[in-house]
Amino acid sequence: MEQNLSGPALIKASIIAVLLAAVVFITIVMPAEFGQDPTGIGKKLGLTAIAEAEEKTVIQYADSNGQLREDTIDVTVPAGAGIEYKLFMDQFQKVEYEWLSAGDAIYFDLHGEPEGDTTGYFESYAIATLPEMKGSFTAPFTGTHGWYWKNTSTEDVEILLQLKGQYRLAKALPNQEDTP
């Protein structure tokens, strides 16, 4: 059985729906999402605790001295050459990163080498040819971790690297060993 709503009935239903949505927003959404509770109902229902819990889950990364570290680094990869940029990280330290090239895609290898290893062992975490990459990384072992970029073009490639987390800068030098 179908019901046809007339113009006035449709307007009345729309107004009721808008009012109901406003009540739900003020009593439930605002306390849970924004921590604002103008009616006090959100606190009684325990919804303000949701907003407070979200604020407490912000992850803060710190370097070995307990300080949050953020760096923005310009790396030039010379034409026809490769370069490494390394961070020294203790096991389980974390870093968020984003890098982007000022041009075409470039080959890279995100990898790490354990501290004190003399065998030449390294572990690759990501290998690709991309113009940019963004992510986070937790060091599986103490040592140097970072990127090797290879530029096969005839022009230098500029890379902007942004870092935030627990690390110490090692160095970015072509054809030289990195030291923490």
Residues of the chain with CATH 2.60.120.680: 69-169
Spell out where 11-170 has E strands: 69-77, 82-89, 94-101, 106-114, 123-130, 132-138, 143-150, 157-165, 168-169
Question: What SS3 state is found at 27?
Answer: helix
pLDDT confidence bin for 47, thresholds 50/70/90: low
The dihedral formed by the CA atoms of 168, 173, 178 and 180, expressed in degrees to the nearest 10: -20
Average model confidence (pLDDT) across the chain: 81
The whole-number pLDDT of residue 159 equals: 93
Look-up of token digits 């604002």: 36
Q: Is the pLDDT of residue 43 over 80?
A: no
Q: Report the distance separating Cα 48 and Cα 37, nearest Å.
A: 7
CA–centroid distance for 116 within its chain: 30
Residues 123/67, Cβ–Cβ less than 8 Å: no
Instruction: Provide CATH code, domain 69-169.
Output: 2.60.120.680
What does 63-80 look like in DSSP terms, one character per residue? Answer: -TTS--EEEEEEEEE-TT
Number of C-beta neighbours around residue 171 at 10 A: 16
pLDDT band at 177; cut points 50, 70, 90: very low
Per the rule left: phi > 0, alpha: psi between -120 and 50, beta: everything else, 18 is: alpha
Over residues 89-111, the pLDDT tens digits come to 999 999 999 999 987 899 999 99
What is the predicted pLDDT for the residue at 2? 59
Do residues 37 and 25 make contact, with C-beta atoms less than 8 angstroms apart?
A: no
